[in-house]
Structure 1
């Protein structure tokens, strides 16, 4: 990915942590500052991936097992990367994505009980060298996040993942924190229990710092 000039930022976390809100706020601030910004999501983000998204979140693939789900997620991710993310980065855009490889590591790997080696090989093929420059992990106790998600959904039925047991959601929360600890150069933990304004201010400050660091490196090289 040495030929790309854009910046790839992903947002991760459990259900109801406020990823969509913070992505929207960051995109607005970056655009006002003159940046070309692409907002996208997973599963989905490209026509092929959006078709797979419906299958996954509806639970239609659940009966075929978590391994099949992981393969479908990887197929959707590859289409998303090649059709949307990589082209945007090559034009110099800032790409903001709601979920990426860390979600697969946790949802299908940690709580899906798939082998870490299998998951990592799937991600290697799916991403084909495209990895985030910066990942925000929005952290909130699972019970609080699920309560938010239920309020947001109103009368809608919970999706494939929202309906799972609280213990599963809390296990995912800890797994995200473990990823952040193991990859501190890429990941930043954000306390999602604060006001939207406080969270947004912290995120933009971290993005500006990361961008400044990258620009300085490019100028030196």
Structure 2
């Protein structure tokens, strides 16, 4: 066994503002909770109004088997920012292949919010946040019948964040020129080519 700390301290960020901002910019997260077996759900999250860095909101399908595991239970929300493979060919000198990434882990306690007014507040806040993020203007105002049909099918979740950790692996121990090269690799990430887009069409039944 090694006595080296993990993750390496150079890859752990205490920049609270950067972590809050990353959750806002990349809101599609993984919600993990303990159980037998442990459960995960992939879903969008937002900071609750006046709760940045302290309280997350989301909602689940009531039929999701993870739902009953969440009331007053510990959970971890993992938010993934950009990531990219780092080939040694990008740099001069002695390098091994590695992967850079930006991730925020929010650990805390979840609570189910099943009151209609609470759930409606979550839906309104999430719609406003994501519409603004993508430059759109849709609102649930005037959609009362549709919302009334939806509410019995979902449950709101409020997560009190007790610990927030940034895992930012960005070649912090390398010279500035190499860090610039690594950041540029995020923009060159492969995969979103015509063949992959066609695969997505097939997966969607088109």
Normalization by structure 1: what TM-score?
0.24
Normalization by structure 2: what TM-score?
0.25
Q: Which has the larger radius of gyration?
A: 2
Whose relative contact order is higher, 1 or 2, with alpha carbons under 8 Å and at least 6 apart?
Answer: 1
Q: Return the structure number with greater helix share.
A: 1
